[in-house]
């Protein structure tokens, strides 16, 4: 039995919705690797190093959780980590189509790896990194959506968001 799971994403930046999924993965698997996508084409607000650092701080209390970044195919990264499970969070029906396509593609590429979905907690069902960035852009509070460290990091980038 293999007990390693991968939680992939952009995490630009990590929200309490992401953390809920990571916590639940950590309670289910002996090792959970949070895999931060290193893709400059997506033009993230936070650099890969910044996104990893914020995630490390936010998951420091969770046993068996590691934060790493990857480039290229997720299934190649999962194989290199010895993981047999990819965890994705589902918020709404609107997430489903893209997730379904990605899960089927990954199954085709790596039949031994399973994609498993965790349904969001209702209070986070509307929460996304983009929504949080929009709030900061227009001067709204993000307390209750992200950790205090992430809030501080967002405030430091506020000017960039307003350009």
Query: Which range touches ligand ADP (CB under 6 A), out of 9-17, 56-64, 73-81, 107-115?
Result: 9-17
Name which of 1 and 43 has its Cβ closer to ligand ADP.
Answer: 43
CA distances from 118 to 15, 39, 89 (A): 16, 24, 5
Name which of 17 and 31 has its Cβ closer to ligand ADP.
Answer: 17
User: CB neighbours (10 Å) of residue 41?
Assistant: 5
Q: Is 61 a catalytic residue?
A: no
CA distance 150 to 101: 31
Check binding of 78 to ligand ADP (CB under 6 A): no
Check binding of 91 to ligand ADP (CB under 6 A): yes
Q: Is 129 a catalytic residue?
A: yes
Check binding of 48 to ligand ADP (CB under 6 A): no
Q: What is the DSSP string of 38-92?
A: --GGG--SS-HHHHHHHHHHHHTTSTTEEEEEE-S-HHHHHHHTT--EEEEEE-S
Query: Which range touches ligand ADP (CB under 6 A), out of 61-69, 71-79, 127-135, 150-158?
Result: 127-135
Check binding of 59 to ligand ADP (CB under 6 A): no
- Which residues are annotated as catalytic? 18, 42, 91, 129
């Amino acid at each position: 039995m293999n007990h390693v799971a991968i939680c992939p994403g952009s995490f630009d930046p990590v929200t309490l919705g992401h953390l809920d999924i990571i916590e639940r993965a950590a309670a289910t698997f002996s090792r959970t690797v949070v895999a931060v996508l290193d893709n400059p084409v997506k033009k993230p607000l936070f650099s890969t190093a910044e996104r990893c650092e914020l995630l490390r701080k936010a998951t420091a209390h969770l046993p068996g959780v590691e934060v790493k970044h990857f480039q290229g195919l997720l299934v190649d990264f999962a194989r290199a980590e010895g993981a047999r499970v990819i965890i994705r969070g589902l918020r709404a029906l609107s997430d489903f189509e893209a997730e379904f396509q990605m899960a089927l593609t990954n199954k085709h590429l790596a039949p031994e790896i399973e994609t498993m979905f965790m349904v969001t907690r209702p209070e986070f069902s509307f929460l996304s990194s983009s929504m949080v960035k929009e709030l900061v852009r227009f001067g709204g509070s993000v307390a209750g959506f992200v950790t205090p460290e992430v809030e501080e990091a967002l405030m430091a980038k506020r000017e960039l968001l307003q350009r």
